[in-house]
Chains A and B, each alone.
Chain A
């Protein structure tokens, strides 16, 4: 200190409060019954953090080491704490690169099985403070890691994934959706040694080698792949804009799927989501034909290049299909819907929005005849659908829970109200989305 400094004025700036570690430990113990209470103090300052973290980890260690499955009664008890742990990871991550949040768990890397950093992006809009590739690189030490989600992290550029995917032996779930800064990914994915089962690559609008990347996913993980999500739907309308600006080369197209011809059938593939991939057409569906056998979920909305013939051919071989989205697809016609009704007996969720009049009462009749397991049906903007067929369908499908009928103009001047009341009592209709329809809204008020 400067010896010549004048004596302190009475209003000295308040010093940080420092407590002995033993005292902090006692305070923490009084907060302990709910681990969630520790999350905020742990992040207040470094001393508190060092005291809190071992206590928190002691609670989670049995959970993270996978012993939970042998202790089913504990599962519900620990569920809340597990959520807390996730919040903990995420909240710490919000402090971003300045703290190296992942490093703080370095002593417990062997225990970590799931890392979800997607919420940090949502709650922390500043890109500088978000997770970067350097931080992700440290995850190579988490040899038990099974799930990695970095959806929406704007600072992730993809360079770390090469190392992560080649080193981690048990990584099965990977989500890199909406990581806007990823430019290339094919090289990283080509090194993949992890048995990826669930891959979410939707919304990678700036990816220049999207076709090569998807091809690598198929080549490296065809034996284990269960779910592949390639939606372009997170930013409505952006897909077309990008397509126009950057040419078709950088858009998901047939090139990505050519390699499927040489691969053995993907037996585990149960979900395929290709929403708003506007270049997906008949060729792609043909490449997928051998792999469709166990599909349970298929989303093809806004796939403009498909034709009814190929779609029919494709859907006849999907006996396990439960969820199908054919909205805004010009090829969704009555013939296709009746094929679906007969070929997919377990269909539970069907979206046929905006088919520009191609779907008529004939579709509903075939659904009523065969798809009695239907739970939800979306018929928005289908101008030819009438109430008579709808009531017929509702009577046939006893489990119908949700109906969307926005813009079905045929139903304006009909006594829909009384009919709906009738089958709402007789059948199990819980929730009906009647937006924008005065007549039906009045019915919805009658405790439907």
Chain B
């Protein structure tokens, strides 16, 4: 039950809505269960889930229905990382959001915690670096979490920034286009 441990750790730091609500004892913590495409289930509190516009809209539409949400297109690993990010940032007021201008988003620096977060993703064993970032980016895009999308795109941009074409192709595993393919397309 790693996600529970994860949430508990966060509540100790006082960063999470979970901990605050437990202490206040006025209102039971609204929780919700998420089931990923590979059948892993996670329980998160509502505040954390609402970092995602996808969940927020869905919660508004289906208020009062305690059924677990099935989250397609997102793997267990990705959702675990997303919950880790959202639990840390759910109380932040200055998260990047869709109303920010491109310039402010571009000039924004990656914070210390975020940097460690990205480094942990990159250092995950097995897969090539970019696959982990891209998987999480797609999941964040699907769940519509502006802060995480900003962090991921910024990290990918930093990854490919000074590299030549061949290396970028290698990173994204793009095959070098064959001439015949191009000719067919042109016709």
Contacts and interface: CB of A to CB of B under 8 A. Distances in A.
Contacts of B177: 45-46, 95, 98-99
B160 interface: yes
B169 to A, nearest CB: 5
A30 B106 contact: yes
Contact residues on A (Cβ < 8 Å of other chain), bracket:
20 to 34
A72 interface: no
B61 to A, nearest CB: 23
B93 interface: no
User: Which residue, A26, A41, A99, has most C-beta atoms of chain B within 10 A?
Assistant: A26
Interface in A9-64: 14-17, 19-20, 22-23, 26-33, 37, 40-41, 43-46
A77 to B, nearest CB: 17
A137 interface: no
Contact of A22 (B102, B131, B141, B156): B141
B154 A41 contact: no
A44 B174 contact: yes
Contacts of B161: 31, 37
Contacts of A41: 160, 168
A27 B169 CA distance: 16
A43 B164 CA distance: 10
A45 B182 CA distance: 12
B151 to A, nearest CB: 11
A16 B106 contact: no
B173 interface: yes
Interface in B109-160: 128, 130-131, 134, 137-138, 141, 149-150, 152-154, 156-157, 160
Contacts of A14: 128, 131, 173
Interface of A: 14-17, 19-20, 22-23, 26-33, 37, 40-41, 43-46, 91, 95, 97-100, 103
18 contacts: A15-B173, A16-B172, A19-B137, A22-B141, A23-B138, A23-B152, A26-B149, A30-B153, A31-B160, A33-B106, A44-B165, A45-B177, A46-B177, A95-B177, A98-B177, A99-B177, A100-B186, A103-B186
